[in-house]
Chain A
């Protein structure tokens, strides 16, 4: 039977294309549209070219929060990835213990973001919060609302509490996928525990860790709700991250043009860093 070749298959792709267009491409293009015009009202707008971009790139507010953002995301990755692996390694592989561990780990992931912020806001208070009260009772002068270091510490701790579970769960599933024969061969080869981790577990965890690193990087780089509820970006601007600076600009000051340019740059940074992580972690495959 001879089948005629037609281009009708394209019609089948159309619904998806329309969906993606409405959910991603059109909104993004709107932002591009804002970022290259100065808009006063529905009938008054001027094309400004790259002016907003130049303005944003020279904006010290953006520089400061970008640096803070990188420090924050870097710390998050440096703490949560090793900690997640460690937790996964220590979890029981089977039996009722493993179920309990999985449930406990899943709990933080189910708490809404603003509730997480509220929990830690109260938890860290010196007067009514258990954590703040305990620290102060131990003679440590802790006040996240006044001391930038304390604020940073609390924001980081909150993120670690909230998201380490994700890394741990990913690693746990990765570890369970390693066949017993690997461990048995390693025993017969007289491998130390460290060698088992370094040469069996870690390589086998690579794929889940890649997902973990990318998710944690993107999420932490876009973090908004939790520090906003906990510290409101303070004290001063010490915990004001990129998304909060952007929101202030777009919603607070209604500087739609610069905010549009900011958004595009923000988006490109995330894309670039994610690509770097991906390339760095996979460049050895197939060689």
Chain B
């Protein structure tokens, strides 16, 4: 069990370049002991780079990696007490499953009895007992991935397991099973687990807390619910949820912000933030799930033009045109689909204000 701390960490693959391009921009982050975390982000956002820095396969160009407060920058991966599971299952083809699982133990010089008992125990947990004597080359992809996971679990000294999109090559119906297995292992061993993925569903089913990475930085670290309800960055709003958050560019006006003729009221704290900021990059965002849709005029609801409806089985997504802006709204199964015109309103509590892409809190939070 270990706490992993990243201190002013940054990484650039080619520092000698005229304009160094940073794959990881300076960040501070802590992965608590024994937590199950996901690192979520689009391809190329730096999440694999970050994982390789934690495991020690890559040395960061700036900053520090601390395990339980001890700097490990200069410690090679084999001495870091971590295990890593890669995108494509890595097994030693010519060995049997037993030898594969025993390999890390034998490399450490463990006794024969210890190897026997430990491999037996892990094989039991991973449902590999039946194939222990099979050549690893002849396993199916999900069995191979379990073997590569097992090689991390057999070692007593492993305090963190890092997963780099481990379910990429697994059949969809087995993904679910393997994900549950992971969860189960986490509960049983209480090992710190960091799981890299670009799939929000995978991230939210596996992890207690998700770090969303964008452009080489963690833009939000929170529970799946926090990411959904309070996206800290426009990217989180857009990336999490299906479809993503509606984001509208707005301008300053008397009582708050406006887009076109529509005015949006702001809370006093938000108003103060808008007035204090010099930036003209103002956006408001609302999740399609929170947009209210009526088919008749209703109070202060805006009239919008219905563009089209996508039926996704259990629910429908309505695309509407409000001024120049396209807004998506999620309709419930039994809700009537408005024709031509619809009236929409944005509940204040779900309307988020972003200045320079970052969320402005509705009220002062002093805690």
What chain B residues lie within 8 Å of A187 (beta carbons)? Answer: 57, 76-78
| Chain B CB within 8 A of A6 CB | no
Whole-angstrom distance between the alpha carbons of A195 and B100 in the complex?
12
With A286-B138, A287-B138 in contact, is A188–B82 under 8 Å at CB?
Answer: yes
Point out the residues of chain B lying under 8 angstroms from A204, CB to CB.
93
Q: In the complex, what residue of chain A is closest to B109 when comparing beta carbons?
A: A190
Closest to B58 in A: A184
Residue of A nearest to B84 (CB): A188
Q: Complex: how many Å from CA A185 to CA B76?
A: 13
- Complex Cα distance, B76 from A189, in Å, reads 12
Nearest residue (CB) in B for A286 is B138
Taken together as a complex, chains A and B put the C-alpha atoms of A233 and B181 apart, in Å, by 69
Of all chain B residues, the one with the shortest Cβ separation from A204 is: B93
Q: Tell me the bound Cα distance from A187 to B152 in angstroms.
A: 12
Pairwise interchain contact B84-A185, C-beta atoms closer than 8 A:
yes
Q: How far is the CB of B56 from chain A (nearest CB, A)?
A: 8
B348: min CB distance to chain A, Å = 49
- Establish whether residues B148 and A190, one from each chain, have CB atoms under 8 Å apart when the complex forms: no
Please report the C-alpha to C-alpha distance between residue A214 and residue B90 in the assembled complex, in whole angstroms.
Answer: 29
Within the assembled complex, what's the spacing in Å between the Cα atoms of A185 and B152? 10
What is the bound-complex CA distance between A181 and B86, given in angstroms? 7
- Tell me the bound Cα distance from A284 to B104 in angstroms: 25
Q: Are B151 and A189 in contact (CB under 8 A)?
A: yes
In the complex the two chains form, is A184's CB within 8 Å of B103's CB? no
On whether the beta carbons of B90 and A191 are closer than 8 Å, the reply is no
Q: How far is the CB of A187 from chain B (nearest CB, A)?
A: 5
The yes or no answer to B94 lying at the interface (CB within 8 A) is yes
Question: Which residues of B, 94-137, contact A by the 8 Å Cβ criterion?
Answer: 94-95, 103-104, 107-108, 135
Task: Assess whether B94 is in contact with A195, with CB atoms less than 8 Å apart.
Answer: no
From A185, A189, A199, A286, contact of B86 by CB (8 A)? A185
A180-202 interface bits toward B, Cβ cutoff 8 Å, 1 = contact, 0 = none? 01101101111110010001100
B228 within 8 A of A: no
B32 in the interface (beta carbon within 8 A): no
Which residue of chain B is the closest to A189 with respect to CB atoms?
Answer: B104
Residue among A181, A195, A200, A287 having the largest count of chain B Cβ atoms under 10 Å: A181
Q: Which residues of A contact B95 (CB under 8 A)?
A: 199
Residues of the B chain whose Cβ atoms lie less than 8 Å from the Cβ of A284: 135
Is B148 touching A185 in the complex (CB atoms < 8 A)? yes
What are the residues of chain A within 8 A of B93 when measuring CB–CB? 203-204
Interface residues of A in 170-185 (CB under 8 A from B): 179, 181-182, 184-185
Q: Among the listed A188, A191, A203, which residue makes an inter-chain contact with B83, where contact means beta carbons less than 8 Å apart?
A: A188
Using Cβ atoms and an 8 Å threshold, which residues of chain B touch A200? 92
Q: Which of B77, B90, B94 contacts A203 (CB 8 A)?
A: B94
State the CA gap A229–B86 with chains docked (Å): 55
**Which residue on A lies nearest to B55, using beta carbons?**
A188
Given known A184-B86, A199-B95, A286-B138, contact A189–B107 (CB-CB < 8 A) = yes
Within 8 A of A (CB), among B60-91: 76-78, 82-84, 86-88, 90
Query: Which residue of B is nearest A196, CB measured?
Result: B92
A99 to B246, CA, bound (A): 52
Q: How far is the CA of A195 from the CA of B99 in the complex (A)?
A: 13
Instruction: Give chain A interface residues in 267-287, CB to chain B under 8 Å.
Output: 284, 286-287
A254 nearest CB across to chain B (Å) = 53
In the assembled complex, the Cα of A192 lies from the Cα of B88 at a distance in Å of 22
Distance in angstroms between the alpha carbons of A184 and B148 in the assembled complex: 12
Whether A190 contacts B78 in the complex (CB less than 8 A), given A195-B107, A203-B94, comes out as: yes
Residues of A within 8 A of B148 (CB): 185
CB atoms of A191 and B103 under 8 A apart: yes
- Picked from B76, B92, B152, the residue with its CB within 8 Å of the CB of A199 is B92
Residues of the A chain whose Cβ atoms lie less than 8 Å from the Cβ of B84: 184-185, 188
Cβ of B145 to closest chain A Cβ, rounded Å? 12
CB of B77 within 8 A of CB of A188, answer yes
B87 and A181 contact, CB distance less than 8 A:
yes
User: Once the chains are docked, how many angstroms separate the CA of A284 from the CA of B96?
Assistant: 13
Task: Chain B residues near A192: list those with CB within 8 A.
Answer: 107
- Nearest opposing residue in chain A for B78, CB measure: A190
Please provide the chain B residues from 34 to 68 with a CB less than 8 Å away from any CB of chain A in the complex.
Answer: 52, 55, 57
In the complex formed, the residue of A with least CB distance to B134 is A287
Known: A179-B88, A185-B151. 8 other contacts (CB 8 A): A181-B86, A187-B77, A188-B82, A188-B83, A189-B103, A191-B107, A203-B94, A204-B93
A-B contact pairs, 25 of them (CB 8 A): A181-B88, A181-B90, A182-B90, A184-B55, A184-B77, A185-B90, A185-B148, A187-B57, A188-B83, A188-B104, A188-B152, A189-B104, A189-B107, A189-B151, A190-B104, A191-B103, A191-B107, A195-B103, A199-B94, A199-B95, A199-B103, A200-B92, A203-B92, A204-B93, A287-B135
Nearest 9 pairs of A and B residues by beta carbon: A185-B90, A181-B86, A190-B107, A189-B104, A190-B78, A199-B92, A203-B94, A203-B93, A187-B77
